[in-house]
Structure 1
Amino acid sequence: MIFTISGESGSGKTTVGNLLASRLNYKFFSGGYFFRQKAEEYNMDLIEFSAYAEKHPEIDRQEDDMIVDFMRKNDNIVLESRLSGLMAYKNNINSIKIYLNTSLATRIDRLSSRDKNTEPKQVISRARSEFLRYMMFYGMDYRVFTYYDYIIDTDFTSPENIVENIIKLYQKL
């Protein structure tokens, strides 16, 4: 089985994805890792690289192709990325598509804790850039919940409880 974990920056995708993969003894893959590596290759921070990617669609297309190819070639994986659920949906890849929904305030708190120099305006700027890129490239809003099997609010629930709920939902299938 493939699990996709989607959501905005700071929603808990990586934390929940790692925990879920560990609990299920699955492989974990993070699309954000690819984007961060690309930003480093280009000698840019995430905000600069997001702005750059707005003008260079090949950046997102490379990541998308990698994600779709990975899903087609693998099973028993947890794949975390902003678009993994949408990519699975658009490409008819059998998976459980999960969206982690989180308020802007919680996302800012989490990102500020993780990335020490993160300012609220940077979080908003990055989210805006990503939204615009995805709308330009796909004409779709990845935050539309109809693409997902489960939508989970992560503001007031621990990652461990979220994983427990996902496993319970999976066992009912």
Structure 2
Amino acid sequence: MRITVSGLPGSGTTSLSRYLAERHGFSMISAGEVFRQLAKEHNMELARFGNLARQDPSYDMMIDARQKEIAQERDDIIVEGRLSGWMVDNADLRIWLYAPIGCRIKRIAFRDQVADEETAKGLTLEREQCEADRYRSYYDIDIADLSIYHIILNSEHWGVEGLGAIIDMSIAQLKQSRHNP
């Protein structure tokens, strides 16, 4: 089974992906973690590194191609990233996590240890616009088009356990339908 988990920064995609990987014994690949690691290796904040990636598409394309390649080669995998729903054509389940900007900013400020929420908001909105521009430019993808997703959940209303329970049920139904067509 191949599952993609996508959403805007701070929506909880990494937390849900880790939960699902652990709960179901799936492997996991995270584009966001790879991108954050590259930013760190370049001693840059995410927004600045995003601007570098905008100037040099090879960073994004390398991450996207690697995710796609791994997802094609493996079964029982969680592929987490903003574009994973678009990149993994053979996904059995595509999930989009939504959370309002205020909720996401609080999470991002805490996670990334940003001094204050106003700074976190500015950096996040700049990053989101930069990413949206790059995705449209590279792949003609409108990140706001959620029509490809099987499940869209508001992560403000449920913690990772609640979100996980909803997806656990979905996975069980998919497995059952495979055995009883």
TM-score w.r.t. structure 1 length? 0.93
CA–CA separation in structure 2 for the residues paired with 1:48 and 1:94 = 32
Cα deviation per residue 1:93-145 (whole Å; 9 max; x = unaligned)?
23311010111111101001111126211111111111111111111112311
User: Residue in 1 aligned with 2:178?
Assistant: none
CA–CA separation in structure 1 for the residues paired with 2:99 and 2:114 = 21
CA–CA separation in structure 1 for the residues paired with 2:64 and 2:162 = 30
User: Residue in 2 aligned with 1:170?
Assistant: 171
CA–CA separation in structure 2 for the residues paired with 1:40 and 1:94 = 30
Q: Quote the RMSD (CA, aligned, Å).
A: 1.2
Q: Which residue identity is paired with 1:108?
A: I
Residue 86 of structure 1 contacts residue 142 of structure 1 at CA under 8 Å; is this kept in 2? Answer: no
Q: Does 1:109 find its partner at 2:109?
A: no
CA–CA separation in structure 2 for the residues paired with 1:143 and 1:76 = 27
4+ residue runs of structure 1 moved beyond 6 angstroms? Answer: none
Which of the two has higher C-alpha Rg?
A: 2
Q: Which residue identity is paired with 1:40?
A: K
Q: Does 1:97 find its partner at 2:98?
A: no
SS in structure 1 opposite 2:147?
helix
Q: CA deviation at 1:15?
A: 0.4
TM-score w.r.t. structure 2 length? 0.89
Residue 14 of structure 1 contacts residue 30 of structure 1 at CA under 8 Å; is this kept in 2? Answer: yes
Q: Which runs of no fewer than 5 residues in structure 2 stay unpaired?
A: 175-181
